[in-house]
A and B are shown apart, each in its own frame.
Chain A
């Protein structure tokens, strides 16, 4: 067994020994296997695209990406993160998509002195009380997309809403975020088993409650199942579907197909965004990967460019942690989201838009921007954050 471990070690040494001196080392930990594997690949593709456009450099230095698979299991993620930090000596960690993996990984990574620049997961703990000088979320805080949709429906005067989400913390966060701004009547608030396949029973309950709209948060396969079945039940026309972009983005739309057309999503970015950075990104992504990018890919793309811009502003010397932190906090880059800046808790302040799912010229369902919901939206936890100096 000792031999096994030793040979495992030698093998990984061989792969890392060939790299040129002084590269920036970035650990990309995400879910690559199992049903969640699609999201990890989406994030990695967005991240890699930005690096390639940049000649595979960060802040003018060559970059080495150490990839890790967390299998959507916190303890597996923890082990992979330990390896990245201790053996590969990564300086920045990114890619993590599940909040529970983030919570298992963040503390040891930060304790070891690494930066975390999240391209996806943005748990409320790190936006609030546990905020950390070296923790940045270039993506979003979990609740904000739901807050935007709640705000929109409140402003529009929609009276009765029915809420659905999986029974896990992110599901509760999303619905809590929605209720933070929506003050109308909530005629149903249902939490289903994580990974549930069939929603016929819940949809029947929705029909019986006859609300003015349904707000749902179902990521991945759950969202595909729910939207298809909702459409088959014939409810989409009478009771409109509203969701955060994660329930209706390009990771699921191709599989849902026409069933999603007519649903509404709140988003900080959509593939139809009309700014030069975004258009360039979408075109490059489609050309390279033969599919439309999702907001997750856009976030990862932004994350890489954000890290690069910050590193560049200090001449690539990210080893100076105080300077790098400062550079990240005040980073200026050409975000695909148009406007982007960090709040004091290192979570983004960004605009939110209402989008509707329509078919594009090629007949593919996409998110089309309808109106801006909120400018410079901040998360709800920033007041709890006492950022250390």
Chain B
């Protein structure tokens, strides 16, 4: 009896996910065909922010925890890659180890460090809930931000340039096409992971806790540890996105971890739709592309952008994913009738 519901939800999740990934995978070919390699750079940025937004949505949409410190984790990932590359380029050892420009080493390092920091930050922040959680995570984000500015050795407010060539094991990923597909693979992995997690036993506890904590406690589960685990998973994936951003643009700066960037990530998630795993990916794409297109039209683009956001949130309850699903449903409905 549970099967029909499951199949329906699989259709709802798997088909759009595959469509998104396929569309993205095709962009470099489109770029080549029409001779505009810049599209690949935009697509890479879309993919990186999509990873962060999907990861953030694991706690926002499914855990009910609106975190404003994810830009901090984004930046931590970026700075791990940047600082290791700096030590590699300047041939200066970092404590006991030498620097590296190999993502095969710096990505795990970013994962490890962000997991450790997220565990501490999460353990403290999860004592609170609702708007208080929002603000305590904002406080931590500010601490990360000012912490990065205090890194004078690594450029402080000026940011950190990556001068060396970034590799992945023996593979040189400084080629934009290769790098794009690397980022896309990480996005696919993120969508798969989050998609499995939310439907697992873990996900059931997380989702139930976000809507009715009392009920979850009453059946014998303390949500705290589950929330913490979700927070850490989400932070780690976001840090990976940040690491990719730094590697891709060969640059990381404190601006990449400001609180407004945290806000942007939340906006991407909500804009796309927090109710489905792939929603935030659409939100990230809309955000990045709209910003680019509108700002090339007029210096007053933020006026249009702001009104568009208001319009979307007024008319669509589930974000852009809602629109996509409605269109999809109508089309298949028409097909049936026709």
Contacts and interface: CB of A to CB of B under 8 A. Distances in A.
Contact of A2 (B24, B249, B291, B302): B24
B59 interface: no
Nearest to A12: B296
B251 A1 contact: no
A78 interface: yes
B contact residues, range: 35 or more
A75 B253 contact: yes
B158 A5 contact: no
Interface residues of B, dominant DSSP? helix
B297 to A, nearest CB: 8
B271 to A, nearest CB: 13
Contact of A104 (B34, B39, B253): B253
Contacts of B41: 79, 82-83, 86
A2 B23 contact: yes
A182 B96 CA distance: 42
Interface string A100-112: 1001100110000
B38 A87 contact: yes
A289 interface: no
Interface string A48-85: 00000000000000000001110011111011101100
Given A104-B249, A104-B251, A168-B149, A5 B159 contact: no
B289 to A, nearest CB: 5
Nearest to B254: A100
Given A2-B30, A32-B299, A168-B157, A75 B249 contact: yes
B262 interface: no
A4 B295 CA distance: 15
A237 to B, nearest CB: 34
A29 B126 CA distance: 42
Interface string A3-19: 01110110110000000
Given A4-B286, A9-B36, A104 B159 contact: yes
B20 A1 contact: yes
B42 A79 contact: yes
B307 interface: no
B39 A5 contact: yes
Contacts, number: 113
B205 interface: no
Nearest to B282: A1
A330 interface: no
B255 A8 contact: no
Interface string B20-49: 100110110010001011110111011000
B248 to A, nearest CB: 10
Interface string A32-45: 11000100010000
Contact of B292 (A83, A86, A167): A83
Interface string A248-292: 000000000000000000000000000000000000000000000
Contacts of A82: 38, 41
A74 B149 contact: no
Given A4-B289, A9-B34, A79 B45 contact: yes
A87 B157 contact: no
Interface of A: 1-2, 4-6, 8-9, 11-12, 32-33, 37, 41, 67-69, 72-76, 78-80, 82-83, 86-87, 99-100, 103-104, 107-108, 123, 167-169, 194
Given A1-B285, A79-B42, A87-B36, 6 more contacts: A4-B285, A8-B292, A74-B253, A75-B256, A79-B45, A86-B36
